[in-house]
Homo-oligomer: A and B are copies of this chain.
Amino acid sequence: MTLEPAEPAGPSGSAGPSEPDDPHSDLLAVLPRLTQLSAAFTKGRLTERAAEAAGLALDRPAMGVLVTLRTADQPLRIGEIADRMQVVGPHVTRQVQALEKRGLVRRVADPHDRRASLIEPTAAGMEAANRYVTSLLGWFAEALADWPRQDREDLTRLLNRLADDVTARLARFDAEE
- Chain A interface (Cβ < 8 Å from any Cβ of B): 2-10, 12-18, 23-24, 26-31, 33-34, 36-41, 43-44, 46, 49-50, 52-55, 70-71, 73, 86, 123, 126-127, 130-131, 133-144, 147, 151-156, 158-163, 165-167, 169-170, 173-174
Contact = CB atoms under 8 A, between A and B. Distances in A.
A34 B159 CA distance: 8
A155 B166 contact: no
Contact of A24 (B31, B141, B167): B141
Contacts of A127: 8, 12
Contacts of A73: 15-16
A90 to B, nearest CB: 16
B31 A34 contact: no
Q: Which of A8, A13, A71 has the most CB of B within 10 A?
A: A8
Contacts of A52: 2-3
Given A4-B53, A5-B135, A34-B38, 10 more contacts: A6-B53, A6-B54, A13-B123, A18-B133, A23-B141, A27-B144, A34-B41, A36-B86, A37-B162, A151-B161
Contacts of A126: 13, 15
Contacts of A86: 36, 39, 43
Given A34-B41, A36-B167, A165-B143, A26 B153 contact: yes
A52 B73 CA distance: 43
Contacts of A155: 30, 158-159, 162
B142 A169 contact: yes
Contacts of A140: 24, 27, 30-31
